[in-house]
Copies of this chain bind each other. A is one copy, B any other.
Amino acid sequence: MASSIGQNIKMTIFGQSHSPAIGVTIDGLPAGIEIDSEKLAGFMARRAPGKDRFSTMRKEADEVQFLSGLTDGKTNGAPLCAAIFNKDQHPKDYSAIWDTPRPGHADYAARVKYSSFNDPTGGGHFSGRLTAPLCIAGGILMQWLEAKGITIGAHIASVHGVEDEKFDRVNVTANQLNSLKQKAFTCIDDEKAEKMQAEILAAKGDCDSVGGTIECAVVGLPVGIGEPMFGGLESRIAEAVFGIPAVKGLEFGAGFEAANMYGSENNDEYYCDENGEIRTRTNNCGGILGGISNSMPLIFKVAFKPTPSIAKTQNTVSFENKTDTTLNIKGRHDPCIVQRAVPCVEAAAAVVIADLFISHLKD
């Protein structure tokens, strides 16, 4: 189903930008996972809006309330339902978009699909706000995976063309991934972070927005995670990652660059390290061969388009009148969502890895 993902751990996200609550139901979670609420709140805070001048001023505490699935703070085998109740609602800001679809948003397509029944306020179910429940699920599962020795972390790889240093695909470590999570603006190179922020502020000043890319790594994966064909790590991660609004591209390892390489360059040759472990000297495959983890770090990169909501006047149409018109989007919007999307990408990866990890336990 559309808003569900997973085979062993099935997650269903519910809510609209301005519904009474948004949340997630997770069925199939192993019993006995102890949830560190403070750590989860910290994870959610990385996504939360309103925390700096690069983000929307809409302030949502994003306080997670567990409705079911926990006993004494541990999962009990029953479906876990967690909700965030919406407090700071300004649906009136969005009334104009009902007839004049915003360029770059789902408004027009959703209006046709659901006809007049669609909820257009704030993007409804298509709102980026729905990544908060994704982060609840991802945050919980990252804690579980961490306990199993698997660490997921990401950084802003670029904003509007300003590029951060890349992960060392062969040697990236859990420590590096975890220390990145402490940063307010998640770049490896702090100077690049400054430049990116300058780009964002410049765009904001121009009533415009910018896009960027996020690079994500998973370390500590056992060999053999993932299934053949459509159950492979690439397919499954893609399914989750493209569920994040604004994602328009995804590549694993060398990705699109591999298309320009010779086989002899791109192939990652095996060797035995000092511990007798089989590894590869390069990692152009991003840790995945045949859809299955191969002992090397799993690496992928995600492209985010610029925030479609911009303050500039834009051309659009009147849906009812079938005439051209213009639109001025009001309300509070992020001039760039890439910095807030970092935990969302981690969460998407966590949801998939945890699901496949359970299949692996039974292999």
Residues of A at the B interface (CB closer than 8 Å) are: 1-5, 7-8, 10, 12-16, 19-23, 25, 27-28, 30-32, 65-71, 74-81, 83, 101, 103-110, 112-119, 123-126, 130, 158, 160-161, 203, 206, 208-213, 223-224, 226-232, 234-236, 238-240, 242-243, 245, 247-256, 258-272, 276, 278, 280, 284-286, 289-294, 303-310, 312, 314-317, 319, 322-324, 358-359, 361-363
Contacts and interface: CB of A to CB of B under 8 A. Distances in A.
Contact of A250 (B108, B249, B314): B249
Given A20-B67, A235-B239, A292-B109, A8 B362 contact: yes
Contact of A106 (B108, B264, B289): B289
A255 B114 contact: no
A154 B206 CA distance: 38
In order of increasing CB-CB distance, the 9 nearest A-B pairs are: A106-B290, A2-B231, A2-B227, A78-B125, A238-B238, A249-B251, A209-B263, A113-B224, A263-B306
Contacts of A358: 362
A203 to B, nearest CB: 6
A363 B111 CA distance: 12
Do most interface residues of chain A lie in helix, strand or loop, or is the interface mixed?
A: mixed
A53 B218 CA distance: 40
Contacts of A289: 104-109
Contacts of A261: 160, 210-211, 305-306
Contact of A286 (B14, B66, B161, B248): B248
B112 A270 contact: no
Contact of A27 (B4, B75, B79): B4
Contacts of A80: 14
**Residue of A209, A305, A309 contacting most chain B CB atoms (<10 Å):** A305
Contacts of A228: 2-3, 77-78, 106, 125-126
A275 to B, nearest CB: 10
Given A75-B117, A113-B223, A238 B242 contact: yes
A243 B235 contact: yes
Contacts of A76: 16, 114, 117-119, 124-125
B31 A114 contact: yes
Nearest to A250: B250
**Residue of A107, A114, A254, A322 ringed by the most chain B CB atoms within 10 A:** A114
B31 A118 contact: yes
B230 A243 contact: yes
Q: Which of A252, A290, A359 has the most CB of B within 10 A?
A: A290
Nearest to A233: B242
A12 B31 contact: no
A77 B118 CA distance: 7
A77 to B, nearest CB: 4
B310 A67 contact: no
B308 A267 contact: yes
Contacts of A312: 263-264
15 contacts: A4-B230, A14-B25, A19-B78, A108-B223, A109-B289, A112-B224, A242-B291, A249-B252, A256-B256, A263-B308, A264-B314, A267-B306, A270-B324, A272-B317, A276-B322
B14 A69 contact: yes
B210 A263 contact: yes
Contacts of A130: 229
Nearest to A305: B258
B264 A310 contact: yes
